[in-house]
Structure 1
Amino acid sequence: MLLTAGCAWIPPGGKQAEFMPVPDMAHGLSEARETEPLTPRRAWPEDRWWRQFDSPELNRLMAVALKDNPGLKAAAARLRQTQAMARVEGARLLPFLDADVAFANERISENGVFAALNREEAAGANIIFASINPVSLRYEFDFWGKNRAALEAALGEAEATAAEQAEVRLQLTTAIARACFRGAALRRQLDLAREMVELRHELIELADTRFESGITSARSVKRANIALETAQKREAGTEDQLDVQRNLLARLMGTGPDETRHLFANPVTIPERIPLPAQLPIGLLAHRPDLAAALHRTEAAAHRVKEAKARFLPTVDLTAFVGVNALRLTTKGASSLANVLFSGSSFAYGIAPGLRLPWFEGGRLRGELSAQRAEHDGAVELYNDTLVQAIQEVADSLSSWRETRNILEAHRRLLVSQREDLDLAQTRLQAGLDDRRTVLRSRHAVLNQEYVLKSLETNQLVAMTDLIEALGGGYTNNADIARPQSIAD
C-alpha cells in the first residue's frame, strides 16, 4: 500500500529566494578610525550602554521605562505566547497518556423494539455499562519529521519574538536617550535665552537714555525693542520644546507628565572617545535584533515548508488502553454490575495501530505547500531588505558622528574667538575707548554662540545614539549566523 500510494504527489517548487551576500564596508570603517577618536573593540555597545554618559537622570529614566513601559510589557507578553506555542508543538513528539471513566444506565422501554423481541427479559430492564481505563495511550510516529519540523518552526518563531522584544527595548532606550539629551540641552538653552532677554532689556534702557539725551534717534529704540521681542520669542519657543521633551519622556516611561516636570537638573557628559566593533558588517548579524528576528523568521518558514511536505506522506499512529469494563442487562440495578466490574473476567485491553494515506484532498496539501514556500521566499527577501537597511544605518550614523564632531570642534573654536572679542570689549570699556553697549552686544553674541553650541552638542550625542542603535545596542544572539543558509528546498 505504501508503494502504490506513494502518497499525494508533491509538486516541485520554483526558484527559491536566496540570501544576499553581506556588503562590505571596510573602507568606511577605516576612514572613521583614521579621522575620529574611535577605539576598536570586539564587543560594543554594551548592554547598558547609556551608563557611559555619566547621567544619573538618564540612568533613572531608563530604569523606570524598562520596568513600566507598556510597549515593552506587550512585547514580553508576545514572547511568552510564542514560547507557550512552542511547548504545544513539542508535545506532539510525545505520547499522550490519559485515563477515562464511563458509566451509563439506560432503561429499555416496555413498548420498544427490544421489548417486542424479548418481552420477558428486556421489557422494563436496565442496560448498565461501566468502563474504567486508568491508562489510555495515543502516539503518532513522526517517521517523516512533520512534528519535528513544526516544533523547530515554533522555536524559530519564539527566537524571532525574543529578538523583536530586544528591538523594542533598543528603540525604547534610544528614544529615551535622545529625548533626555535634547531636554538637557534645551534646559541650558532656556537659561541662556533668559539671560539674553535680560541683556536686551539693558540695551533698551541704554537706547532710551541716549534717545532722551538726543544722541540717537527713535529708530535705535525701535530696533532695540524688536531685538527684545525676538529674544522673548526664542525664550518661549525653547520652553515649549522643553515641555515637549518632558512629556515625551513621561510617555516613554509609562507615567504621567508630573513625573518629569523637574527633569534636566544635571548636564550630560559627552564621551571623548567611542569604540567600534572589531568587524563590520558581519558583526551586525549577531548584534542587530531586527536582523536576528528576520533570520529566525526565515528559519521558521523553512521548517514550515518541511512540515507542509511531510503532510503528503502517510501518517502512522498507535492507540492503546488498559482497564476494566462490563455491561449487564438486569432489573436489579447497578449493584449487579459492581459485582463483576472489578473481577478478573472484566479485564480489557486494546492496541490499535493506524495508517492514513493522503491520496486526494482536492489540492489542499499542494495549496498549503505553495503558501509556505511563498512565505519562506518573502521572509528571505525581508531579511535581505533588513540587512541593506542595517548597513545604510551604520554608514549614515558613522558619517553623522564624524560630521557633527567636526562641526562641534569648529564651533568651539568660533566660541573661543567670540569670548576673546568680549574680553577685548571689556578692556576697551575700562580704557574708555568703548561704551557699555559694545560690551553688552559682545556678551549677547557669546550667549548666542553658547546657545548654538548646546544644539551642536545634542546633535553629536544623538549621532552617537544613532550609531549605538545601528550596532544593536548591546544585543547578542547566541546563534551562529555569520552567513545564513537556507534549509528549505
Structure 2
Amino acid sequence: MTACRTAADHLRLALGLGCGLFFGSCAWIPQGDAPAEYLEPPEIHETLSEVTSRLQQWPEDRWWEQFGSPELNELITGALKDNPGLKQASARLRQAQSLVKVEGARLLPFLEADASLTYERISQHGVFAALNQEVAGIKIMYGIINPLSFRYEFDFWGKNRAMLEAALGHAAAEEAERAEVRLRLTTGIARAYFRGQALQQQLNVVKAMVGIRRDLKKLAETRFQLGLDNDQPVKIAVADYEAAFKRQAAIRDQLDVQRHLLARLAGKGPDEAAHLFAKPQVTVPRQIPAPDHLSMGLLVHRPDLAAALYRAHAASRLVKVAKTQFYPTIDLTGFVGFNALTLAKGTDKLANFLFSGQSFAYGLAPGLRMPWFEGGRLRGELGAQRAEYDAAVELYNDTLLDAMREVADSLSAWQTTGEMMASHKRLLASLGEDWRLAKVRLVNGLDDDREVLLHRHPVLEQEYALRALESDQLVAAVDLIESLGGGYNNPDIEKRPTQKPS
C-alpha cells in the first residue's frame, strides 16, 4: 500500500514538473511598448464644400473612356497588355499566391514514401565490433521500404495559422499594389497624352505665329527698300521672326519627348508613337465624380491604402508567430513499412526477407521541443516584428494623410483650372473682336496689312495659352480621378482598420 502511494506521489510530482516545464516558457515573453494605432481618417467637409460641381459616385474602372479619345483608349489598352512594370507586378502577385500554398501546407500532415538499400562492411576496429566481436569484418545488406511516412506539427499556439494569415496578407497587398501600378500607368499615359495633344495644338498655333512674323518681316523689308522706313523696323521684325522660329523648334522637341514617353509607357519603341496626335480629339468632362464622405471611402477605393493596410495586417500576424516561438513545439512522426538485414553473401534472400510478414515494421514518435535559452534570439525576433508592425501601421497612416492631401489638391486644381478657362475664353473673345475690327478697317482702307497682322498675333498668343490651360484642366481631372482610386473597389476591406497584434 505504501509502495502504491509512493508511486502515485512520484507520478503527480512528475506531472507537475512536466506541466511547469511545458508552460514555464510563456512567462519569458517580454511585454513591449504599446503597439502603433491606426489613424482615424480626417474629414474634409470644408474642402468639398468649395467644389461647385460634384456627383455622388466614385470613378469607373475604365475612366479614360469619358474623355472621348479613341487614340487614348488604344494607347491604354495596349499598355495594359505590354507594359513591363505591370507584368512585373503580376509576377510578384503570382509569387505571393504561391507562397500562400507553401504556408497553408504547414497545417496539414506531410506524407511521403521512402526506400533505401545499404551495403556495408562492419569495421573490425569500430565501436560496434568492439562490443560484438562476432560481427567484426562481415559484410551486410540492409533494405528498407516505407510506403508511408508522415510528420505532423500540432498547431496548439496558432503559429502555422498565423503564418498562413500573414502570407494571405502579403498576397492581398501584392494584388492591391498591382492595382496601384495599373492606376499609375493609366493616369501617367493620360497625362502624357493630354500634354502631348496640347503641344501639338500649340505647335500649330506657333506655326501660324511664325507665318505672321515672316509676313511682317517681308513688309518691313519692302518698306525699307521703298524708303518709307529706316532699317530699325527690319531688325525688330527679323528678331521677332527668329524668336518665333526658335519657339517652334522648342515645342517640337517637347512634343517628341511626350511621344517617346507614351511609347515607353505602352511598352513599345519610340517609332510606335511617331504618328500620335494626328487628329487630336478630347472631351473635357464637365463633372468629375467626387462623392461625399471621402474620408470613409478612401480605404475601400485607394489601392495604395489597401496595400498598406494588408501589409500591416500581415505584420500583426508575424508578431503572433514570433510570440509562439516562446512556447513548446509538439510534433508527431511515424512510419509503416518493411526492413530486413542479411549477410552480403545471402543477398538473393534479401527480397524474400524484406517482403515477408516478419519484416513488417512501424514506428510512432511524438516529439517535444521547448526553448530554454536562446541567447536573446527570441526576444530580439519578437522586438523586430513588433517594430515592423509599428512601421507598417505608420506607413498606412502616412499613406492616408497623403491620400487626403492629394484629394484636396486635385479638387482645388480642378476647380481653379475651370475658373481660369472660363476667364481666358472671355479674354480671347475680346481680343478676337479687336482683330475683327482691324480686318474691317483694312477693308475700308483705314489700316494696312500690318495692323491686321499685329492684331492677329495677340489672339494667337492667347490661343496658345488656352491650349495649355485645357491641358492643365485635363491633367487636373486625371489627378482627381487618380486621387479617388481610379475605379478601384475592394469591398472586403473594413472602412475603419482595427486589427492589432495578438
Q: TM-score band (shorter)?
A: over 0.9
Does structure 1 residue 7 correspond to structure 2 residue 29? Answer: no
Assess, with a 3 A threshold, how the Cα gap between structure 1 residues 117 and 284 changes in structure 2: closer, same or farther. Answer: closer
Task: Give the fraction of aligned pairs with identical amino acids, expressed as a percent.
Answer: 61
Whether the 8 Å contact between 2:54 and 2:291 is mirrored in structure 1 is: no
**What corresponds to 1:107 in structure 2?**
121
Q: Secondary structure of the residue that 2:113 maps to in structure 1?
A: strand
Whether the 8 Å contact between 2:424 and 2:466 is mirrored in structure 1 is: yes
Whether the 8 Å contact between 1:55 and 1:266 is mirrored in structure 2 is: no
Please give the alpha-carbon distance, in whole angstroms, between the structure 2 residues aligned to 1:109 and 1:11: 53
Does structure 1 residue 314 correspond to structure 2 residue 328? Answer: yes
Please give the alpha-carbon distance, in whole angstroms, between the structure 2 residues aligned to 1:123 and 1:362: 45
**What corresponds to 1:242 in structure 2?**
255
Please give the alpha-carbon distance, in whole angstroms, between the structure 1 residues aligned to 2:488 and 2:299: 11
Assess, with a 3 A threshold, how the Cα gap between structure 1 residues 112 and 30 changes in structure 2: closer, same or farther. Answer: closer
Whether the 8 Å contact between 1:18 and 1:486 is mirrored in structure 2 is: no
Deviations 1:377-396 (A, max 9, x none): 11111111111111000000
Does structure 1 residue 23 correspond to structure 2 residue 23? Answer: no
How is 1:322-337 mapped onto 2 (pairs within 5 angstroms)? Answer: 322-332=336-346, 334-337=347-350
Q: More displaced, 182-191 or 5-14?
A: 5-14
1:15 deviates by 1.9
Please give the alpha-carbon distance, in whole angstroms, between the structure 2 residues aligned to 1:107 and 1:402: 90
**What corresponds to 2:287 in structure 1?**
273
Please give the alpha-carbon distance, in whole angstroms, between the structure 1 residues aligned to 2:381 and 2:70: 55
What letter is aligned with 1:40? Answer: Q
Whether the 8 Å contact between 2:111 and 2:149 is mirrored in structure 1 is: yes
Residue correspondences, number: 482
**What corresponds to 1:39 in structure 2?**
55
**What corresponds to 2:357 in structure 1?**
344
**What corresponds to 1:258 in structure 2?**
271
1:325 deviates by 0.9
Q: Secondary structure of the residue that 2:290 maps to in structure 1?
A: strand
Please give the alpha-carbon distance, in whole angstroms, between the structure 2 residues aligned to 1:174 and 1:418: 35
Q: More displaced, 58-67 or 206-215?
A: 206-215
How is 1:377-392 mapped onto 2 (pairs within 5 angstroms)? Answer: 377-392=390-405
**What corresponds to 2:370 in structure 1?**
357
**What corresponds to 2:184 in structure 1?**
171
1:192 deviates by 1.1
Q: More displaced, 210-219 or 144-153?
A: 210-219
1:113 deviates by 8.0
**What corresponds to 1:439 in structure 2?**
452
1:206 deviates by 1.3
1:122 deviates by 4.4
Whether the 8 Å contact between 2:146 and 2:336 is mirrored in structure 1 is: yes
Please give the alpha-carbon distance, in whole angstroms, between the structure 2 residues aligned to 1:132 and 1:161: 44
Normalising by structure 2, we get a TM-score of 0.92
Does structure 1 residue 63 correspond to structure 2 residue 87? Answer: no
Assess, with a 3 A threshold, how the Cα gap between structure 1 residues 111 and 356 changes in structure 2: closer, same or farther. Answer: closer
Q: Secondary structure of the residue that 2:461 maps to in structure 1?
A: helix
Assess, with a 3 A threshold, how the Cα gap between structure 1 residues 424 and 66 changes in structure 2: closer, same or farther. Answer: same
Q: More displaced, 221-230 or 400-409?
A: 221-230
1:437 deviates by 1.0
How is 1:398-409 mapped onto 2 (pairs within 5 angstroms)? Answer: 398-409=411-422
**What corresponds to 1:298 in structure 2?**
312
RMSD: 1.8
Whether the 8 Å contact between 2:48 and 2:292 is mirrored in structure 1 is: no
How is 1:21-170 mapped onto 2 (pairs within 5 angstroms)? Answer: 21-32=40-51, 35=52, 37-41=53-57, 44-108=58-122, 122=135, 125-170=138-183
Please give the alpha-carbon distance, in whole angstroms, between the structure 2 residues aligned to 1:75 and 1:374: 27
1:199 deviates by 1.1
Please give the alpha-carbon distance, in whole angstroms, between the structure 2 residues aligned to 1:365 and 1:112: 41
Please give the alpha-carbon distance, in whole angstroms, between the structure 2 residues aligned to 1:468 and 1:357: 55
Normalising by structure 1, we get a TM-score of 0.95
Assess, with a 3 A threshold, how the Cα gap between structure 1 residues 408 and 346 changes in structure 2: closer, same or farther. Answer: same
1:110 deviates by 7.5
Assess, with a 3 A threshold, how the Cα gap between structure 1 residues 297 and 118 changes in structure 2: closer, same or farther. Answer: closer
What letter is aligned with 1:188? Answer: Q
What letter is aligned with 1:386? Answer: T
Whether the 8 Å contact between 1:184 and 1:266 is mirrored in structure 2 is: no
What letter is aligned with 2:153? Answer: E
